[in-house]
A = this chain, B = another copy of it.
Amino acid sequence: MAGSTIGRLLTLTTFGESHGKAIGAVLDGFPAGMALSEEDIQPYLDRRRPNASALSTSRKESDRVELLSGVFEGRTTGTPIAMLLRNEDAHSSDYDALKDLYRPGHADMTYDAKYGFRDHRGGGRSSGRETAARVMGGAVCAKLLKELGITVQAKALTVGTPAEGDSAGGVIEVVMKGVPAGVGDPVFDKLDARLASALMSIGAVKAVEVGAGVSASSMRGSEMNDAFTAEDGQIKTKTNHAGGILGGISNGMPVVLRCHVKPTPSISLPQESVNRRGGSVTIEIGGRHDAVIVPRAVVVAECMCAFTLLDLMLSGMGARMEDVKKRYSL
């Protein structure tokens, strides 16, 4: 039942509800000796913050990260890095009217089905606010990757245009450059399987593609296959339909994924629904909501990929006998 920890050697545990006291993340298994301060993490949170555009919530989330542990004299110590965000400016009373109602597209009904009741304020644990914890963890991982020459960059490929009172979705692409060949494990812990899980675990994501993705199903083998070539002894592929992954293991080309984000379920148009006793209701959702979540989700997707890649890289350090010998032999 414990679904709030992800990773194997490197683990990210998150906690907190939208209108609770705080949101937090614990990143454990991170290598010792990397320079780290709150200034490395804050810019990622800032990228996730709602902006002044018409598309975003007006909730004021100042969101100053506080580093609680795992760093000593400016460097990571190898012990758990705990990061905290206090919740503030939470208008819980906005949600009183929705307490017994099931908002379409939200997790109200399913949390009740699973747990018998729920923290209804702002979506509780199922709120998009939970992703702030992912961003804190991912920001730390992205810094390490950057020191290895690996960049993880996401952007919105498409952003829908919401009508009046309605909402829209969009598509986010993540590109990881500089990933060495050989990362990922066979069978169930394939790099693409782990990345798909990491991205699909973001609330609004309904599809994940790797490389050619959906279009692969209508291609011929002769089109899909990326021809190998060698430049200066470095093996590359001419095209990258594989998205940088073959057999679940990176091949040295950019790792490319796309995720499809559904429109924000909170809309102010009237919607047909039920209350928890099964009675019919019509609801119009007020409060502060993003009409399009996509721009804010970009950094979340980036962070989930950075975390996942780093976990698999750390897990793979002992894949060869020669590396184990190099590390441990006298």
- For the A-B complex with A13-B26, A13-B80 known, give 7 more contacts whose Cβ atoms are closer than 8 Å: A3-B248, A15-B69, A15-B82, A32-B115, A77-B117, A196-B197, A323-B327
The verdict on A144 contacting chain B, using a C-beta distance below 8 Å, is yes
Q: Which residues of B contact A180 (CB under 8 A)?
A: 113, 328
A66 proximal to B (CB < 8 A): yes
What chain B residues lie within 8 Å of A23 (beta carbons)? 69
Nearest-CB residue, chain B, relative to A82 = B15
A50 to chain B, nearest CB (A): 17
Q: B8 near A8 (CB under 8 angstroms)? A: yes
How many of chain A's residues have a CB under 8 angstroms from any CB in B?
Answer: 171
Decide if A228 touches B32 in the complex (CB within 8 Å).
no
What sequence of 0s and 1s flags, for each residue 237-264 of chain A, a beta carbon within 8 Å of any chain B beta carbon?
A: 1100111011111111000000011111
**CA of A323 to CA of B31, assembled, Å:** 9
8 Å CB contact of A102 from B17, B197, B228, B267:
B228
> Which chain B residues border A76 with CB–CB below 8 Å?
321
Alpha-carbon separation in the docked complex, A214 to B238 (Å): 27
CA distance A185 to B201 in the complex (A): 10
How far apart sit A198 and B209, CA to CA, in the bound complex (Å)?
14
Among A7, A10, A228, A235, chain B packs the most CB atoms within 10 A around the CB of: A228
CA distance A68 to B119 in the complex (A): 14
Instruction: Say yes or no: is A287 at the interface (Cβ < 8 Å to chain B).
Output: no
Judging by beta carbons under 8 Å apart, are A325 and B221 in contact?
no
The verdict on A33 contacting B115 (CB below 8 Å), with A260-B213, A279-B230, A327-B317 known, is: yes
| Chain B: minimal CB distance from A3 (Å) | 3
Given known pairs A168-B221, A249-B111, the reply for A26 and B33 (CB within 8 Å) is no
- In whole angstroms, what is the CA distance A279 to B233 when docked? 9
Report Cα–Cα, A104/B229, bound state, in Å. 10
**From B170, B186, B222, contact of A269 by CB (8 A):** B222
* CB under 8 Å from chain B, chain A span 7-28: 7-11, 13-17, 20-24, 26, 28
Instruction: Pick the contact of A278: B197, B224, B235 (CB < 8 A).
Output: B235
Task: Decide yes or no whether A295 CB sits under 8 A from chain B.
Answer: no
Q: Contacts A190-B3, A248-B107, A317-B317 given; indicate if A80 touches B14 (C-beta within 8 A).
A: yes
Q: Which A residues, 56 to 70, have Cβ-Cβ distances below 8 Å to chain B?
A: 66-70
Cα A269 to Cα B227 with chains together (Å): 13
Quick check: is A130 within 8 A (CB to CB) of the other chain?
yes
Q: How far is the CA of A115 from the CA of B79 in the complex (A)?
A: 9
CB within 8 A of A222: which of B109, B214, B267?
B267
